[in-house]
Structure 1
Amino acid sequence: MTGMIERLPGWPTLPDLFGWVETGLPGAHTIPGLHGIRVEEHLADGTYELRAELPGIDPAKDVEITVTEGAVTLRAERSEETTEKHRTEFRYGTFARSVRLPAGAKGEEATAEYKDGVLTIKVPVPETKTGTRTIPVRHV
């Protein structure tokens, strides 16, 4: 070897490893061409907030948000508009992410807004009372 690192057959390259950080382990996506969406979740003051990183899209045309069976699903599409063939590191295509909502979340009352490339979804989550309850016993 003359100062070069030899890649072992079957071992991923360094860029492949960084790709796993962004997209998950190989085989994690079941739909070819589908990319993940980076999200942050926060629950405070009776509101569940989901923030999704979606720069460069038109939220009115390119985003679909659905709530079913206790989960919120985001789907977005970004199309490429270049005329020359060159290397790009931006991702184009369909992006999707499903996130489980907290117990008791009122998905039908969810709201969404888009600002500076970040989509924010807010879902009310009423606080549940966890106090002790005494059950009277009836004598029959």
Structure 2
Amino acid sequence: MVVLARKQKFPFPDLPDWFEAFPTRFTMPAMADLYTMRIEEYADGGRYTVRSELPGIDIKDLDVTVDDGVLTITAERTERDVDKHRSEIRYGSLTRSLTLPKSADEKDVHAEYADGMLTISVDLGEEKPEPKHIEIKHIT
């Protein structure tokens, strides 16, 4: 059996792999990571649940609103007034909005905050009917 080998023309074959595996400590975080809150969402036991990581946020600086099918989480981390040698903590306002499922009952929403995790649950209620399409007659 003859095996054909192709000679690689690129003089540094490992260079692209090296750039892909560049140590993360030398890279800047993505701008989206600096200004958004991370969430997870799932349905469990007839409720739609959203969990959000908000470490170091005081409960008085949290706000959760539901309006016209949109859940909005707003949080603010205030900067401590101390002489800092270095600070890698992001301060300021964070906001995240999510569209609720069609069957969500906006009147049955619960929120809890413990150990830096905000958990919001919304009753899924009954499935709302799909929009009815109306036939349009062309009049000549």
TM-score band (shorter)?
0.5 to 0.7
Q: CA RMSD in A?
A: 2.0
Residue 76 of structure 1: aligned partner: 75
Which deviations, in whole Å up to 9, do the C-alpha atoms of 1:28-71 show, x marking residues without a partner? xxxxxxx2111100112210000011111121x10111101111
1:59-74 mapped onto 2 (5 Å cutoff): 59=59, 61-74=60-73
Residue in 2 that maps onto 1:48: 48
Q: Which runs of 5+ in 1 are unaligned?
A: 1-13, 24-34, 131-140
Aligned to 1:4: none
Whole-angstrom distance in 2 between the partners of 1:118 and 1:76:
12
Deviation, structure 1 residue 20: 4.2
Matched residue count: 104
- Distance in 1 between residues matched to 2:121 and 2:73, nearest whole Å: 13
Flag the 1:20–1:78 CA change in 2: closer, same or farther, 3 A. closer
Alignment map for 1:1-140 (pairs within 5 Å): 15-16=27-28, 18-20=29-31, 22-23=33-34, 35-59=35-59, 61-128=60-127
Give the whole-Å Cα distance in 2 for the aligned partners of 1:109 and 1:128: 15
TM-score by length of 2: 0.67
How far 1:128 moved relative to its partner? 3.1
CA gap of 1:49–1:128, structure 2 versus 1, over 3 A, is same
TM-score (norm 1): 0.67
2:51 partner SS: strand
* One-letter identity of the residue aligned with 1:53: E
2:15 is aligned to: none
Gap runs ≥5 in structure 2? 1-25, 130-140
Identical pairs, percent:
43
Measure, in 2, the Cα distance between the counterparts of 1:93 and 1:121. 22
